Amino acid sequence: MTVQLACYPPYHSKYNPVERVFGVLENYWNGDPLRSVDHALGMAASMTYKGVHPTTVLIEAEYPKGVRLKKKEMKPYERCLDRLKDLGKWFITIVSSKAQEEVAAGASIA
C-alpha cells in the first residue's frame, strides 16, 4: 500500500476538503446558539455535504500536546517517506514496502 499525505498550509481552505465541510456546517448552523454538546452534535449530524450526512462522535480523550520524536528516533520513519522535491514539508508519499524493509531490518516502526 502507498499513502500520499498532503498537508495544506493554514488558512488555505480552498485546497482542504475538511475546511469546506466546516464552511457548509457554519452556514447550516446559521448563527443558532449551540446550547449543549448534544445540540451541536445533532446539528452536525443533520447537515449534508454533497448529499451525505456526516457521522458525528464526541471524543472526550485528552490529546497529548508537544509529543515529538528526537531526530535519531525519527530516522527509521524518514526512510519510509518519499518527500516531493520542493514540497517536502507539505507532500509526502509513505511507501509500505520501504516500511516492511525497515521492520525486517530490525527498525522499530510501530
Mean pLDDT of 3-26: 76
* Sequence-separated (6 or more) residues with CB below 8 Å from residue 28: 43, 47
State the total domains in the chain: 2
Predicted TM-score (pTM) above 0.75? no
What pLDDT was estimated at residue 38?
92
Specify the residue for cell string 526512510. 79
User: Which domain does 20 fall in, by range?
Assistant: 10-46
pLDDT in tens, 24-40: 888 888 888 888 999 98
Contact yes or no for 74/52 (Cβ under 8 A): no
Residue 63 lies in a domain: no
42 lies in the same domain as 73: no
Residue 1 lies in a domain: no
Specify the residue for cell string 476538503. 17
What pLDDT was estimated at residue 54?
87
pLDDT in tens, 61-97: 998 888 888 988 888 888 888 887 777 677 888 877 7
For residues 68 and 2, what is the distance between their CA atoms, to the nearest angstrom?
Answer: 24
For residues 104 and 80, what is the distance between their CA atoms, to the nearest angstrom?
Answer: 13
